[in-house]
Homo-oligomer: A and B are copies of this chain.
Amino acid sequence: MISKLINEIKKKNAPIVVGLDPQLGFLPKKLMKAGIREYGKSLEAVAAAVFEFNKAIIDATCDLIPAVKPQVAMYEQFGVSGLVAFRETVEYAKSKGLIVIGDIKRGDIGSTSGAYAVGHIGTIQVEGETFAPFDEDMVTVNPYLGSDGVKPFIQVCNENDRGIFVLVKTSNPSSGEFQDREIDGRPLYELVGEQVAAWGEESMDGDYSNVGAVVGATYPEQGRVLRKLMPKTYILVPGYGAQGGQGKDLVDFFNEDGLGAIINSSRGIIAAYTKSEYAKFGEEHFADASRQAVVDMLDDIRGALGSK
């Protein structure tokens, strides 16, 4: 799967991914009204609006980007209806040629992690029929439970040609509380990074592994260290834009081959129309604002990489 993602990144010259993280406050009034007209004041109405919102953003940006990353929490907040919209979003994005990274941050023990893997990147047999429940291409995974929490995902990656990104150093302010604590003179995130590189050997796909890592854009120095520690690991980098990361901070997340990292922006793209820079588009043309925000993000990142 990682080689497929790399091909798309190269083809579009775009090492970026758009985070589809809908919040009630971002949904244009017109879409909410249409949802309520059809389903009444309900979670179904919100879910319908969410899917229409995502669909318009996917349509407006799919020629520019290789992948989208729906954050499942933002769908779970709307209950079962939200997960219907999540499933529809995955399917629609794939129909437009995009790779879908489910930002699910799951992690549990043995057979339970296996069940998450089946649900999100695997298939399940019911009396001889095969079903792919949520059918993402790649997902994010939490490493706190150790190898027997992660390996069931790797097994499904190998069976189904899928990929994962394991949390190593997250983008949030308090990520250091546990991740930065020193063990034998080195921070925990480095040990997790080394383990990710070791797990990655079990699922190589070309020059890179289907087992990637998550390292926040807000921690460029740690990114530099981790880049060297995990040379064959693709790094998914959240925290660009709204969380404060900029193109110039991200250069060292990439390898010398110009590959090795994919930068996510969520609010900065999908809620672009709410920002003063893109206010001229107006709420009506929210998807055009998102497209312009993608163009600007690509300029920033290509510029930074060009000057590497």
Residues of chain B lying within 8 A (CB to CB) of residue A82: 119, 133
Within 8 A of B (CB), among A135-156: 142-149
Name which of A24, A43, A109, A179 has the most chain B CB atoms within 10 A of its CB: A109
Whether the Cβ atoms of A74 and B172 lie closer than 8 Å is no
Q: Please provide the 7 A-B residue pairs with the shortest distance between their CB atoms, ordered closest to farther.
A: A79-B133, A146-B177, A146-B174, A109-B172, A76-B119, A77-B115, A73-B115
Among A10-18, A123-131, A297-305, the one that faces the other chain is A123-131
* A142 in complex: contacting residue of B83, B107, B148, CB < 8 Å: B107
**Assuming A76-B133, A178-B191, is B144 touching A172 (CB within 8 A)?**
no
**A254 proximal to B (CB < 8 A):** no
The answer to whether A170 and B145 touch across the interface, beta carbons within 8 angstroms, is yes
- The count of chain A contact residues (Cβ–Cβ below 8 Å) is 71
| Beta-carbon contact of A188 and B181 below 8 Å | yes
Shortest C-beta distance, A229 to chain B (Å), equals: 16
Q: Does A248 contact B (CB under 8 A)?
A: no
Most B CB contacts (10 A, CB to CB) among A24, A83, A126, A127 go to A126
Q: How far is the CB of A109 from chain B (nearest CB, A)?
A: 4
State in angstroms the CA–CA spacing of A184 and B167 once bound together: 24
Min Cβ gap A176→B in Å is 7
The residue in chain B whose Cβ has the minimal distance to the Cβ of A151 is B174
Chain B residues whose C-beta falls within 8 Å of the C-beta of A45 in the assembled complex: 126
Checking B74, B128, B146 against A115 with a beta-carbon cut-off of 8 angstroms, the contacting residue is B74
| Given A23-B111, A80-B80, A147-B177, 17 additional A-B pairs, CB 8 A | A24-B126, A41-B128, A41-B129, A43-B131, A71-B108, A73-B108, A74-B115, A76-B119, A76-B120, A76-B134, A79-B134, A105-B142, A109-B172, A144-B170, A149-B172, A178-B192, A181-B188
Which of B106, B131, B145 contacts A172 (CB under 8 A)?
Answer: B145
Flag whether A57 is at the interface (Cβ < 8 A): no
Q: Are B181 and A116 in contact (CB under 8 A)?
A: no
